[in-house]
Amino acid sequence: MSTQKMNFMLVGVGGQGTLLASDILADLGVRLGFDAKKAEIHGMAQRGGSVTSFVRWDRQVFSPIIPRGEVDILVAFEKLEALRYLEHLKPGGMLLVNAQVIEPITVKAGDAKYPPAAEMQAAFERAASRVCWVDGLLLAEQAGEARTANVVILGALSALLDTPAESWLDAVQAHVPARAVEVNRKAFMLGRENILVEA
Partner 1 sequence: MKRLLSGNEAIAYGAWEAGVMVASAYPGTPSTEILEHLARFPGVYAEWAPNEKVALDVAIGAAYAGRRSLAAMKHVGVNVAADALFYAAMTGTEAGLVLVSADDPAMHSSQNEQDNRQFARFARLPCLEPADSQEAKDLTQAAFDLSEQFDTPVMLRVTTRICHTSTLTEVGTRREYPTRIEKYPRNPKKYVMVPANARGRHPVIEQRILDLAQFSETFVPNRMEMRSTSLGIITAGVAYQYAREVFPEASILKLGMVYPLPVGLIRKFASRLERLIVLEELDPFIEEQVRLMGIQLYTPADAPDYSPNAKLIFPITGELDPDVVYLASSRAGLIDVPVPGKSKGKIDPGLALPGRPPVLCAGCPHRSTLYILHKLGLPINGDIGCYTLGVTPPLNAIDTCGCMGASIGVAHGACVAGDNERHFAVLGDSTFFHTGMPALLNVAYNRSNVITIIMDNRITGMTGHQENPGTGLTLQQKETVTIELEPLVRALGIERVLTLDAYDVEAIEKTLKAWVKEDGPGVLITRHACALLPGERRGWMTLKVIEEQCNGCTICFRIGCPAILKSEKVDPKYNRPLAQIDPLMCTGCEICARVCPRDAIPTREQILEQEA
Q: Which residues bind partner 1 (CB under 8 A)?
A: 13, 23, 26-27, 30, 35-41, 43-50, 61-70, 80-81, 83-84, 86-87, 89-91, 103-115, 119-120, 123, 126-127
We find the least distance from the C-beta atom of residue 89 to partner 1, in angstroms, to be 7
Query: Distance between CA 24 and CA 154 in Å, rounded?
Result: 9
- What's phi and psi for 171, nearest 5 deg? -65, -40
Beta carbon nearer to partner 1, 41 or 196: 41
Between 12 and 189, whose beta carbon lies closer to partner 1?
12
Nearer of residues 169 and 182 to partner 1, judged by Cβ: 169
Q: Report, in Å, the least distance between residue 49 CB and partner 1.
A: 4
Name the minimum Å distance from CB 65 to partner 1. Answer: 4
Contacts of residue 151, defined as CB under 8 A and 6 or more positions apart, other chains included, come to 17, 21, 24, 140, 172, 176, 184, 187, 188, 191
For the CB of residue 135, give the shortest distance to partner 1 in the complex, in Å.
16
Phi/psi of residue 172, each to 5°? Answer: -60, -45
Cα–Cα distance, 49 to 96 (Å, whole number): 20
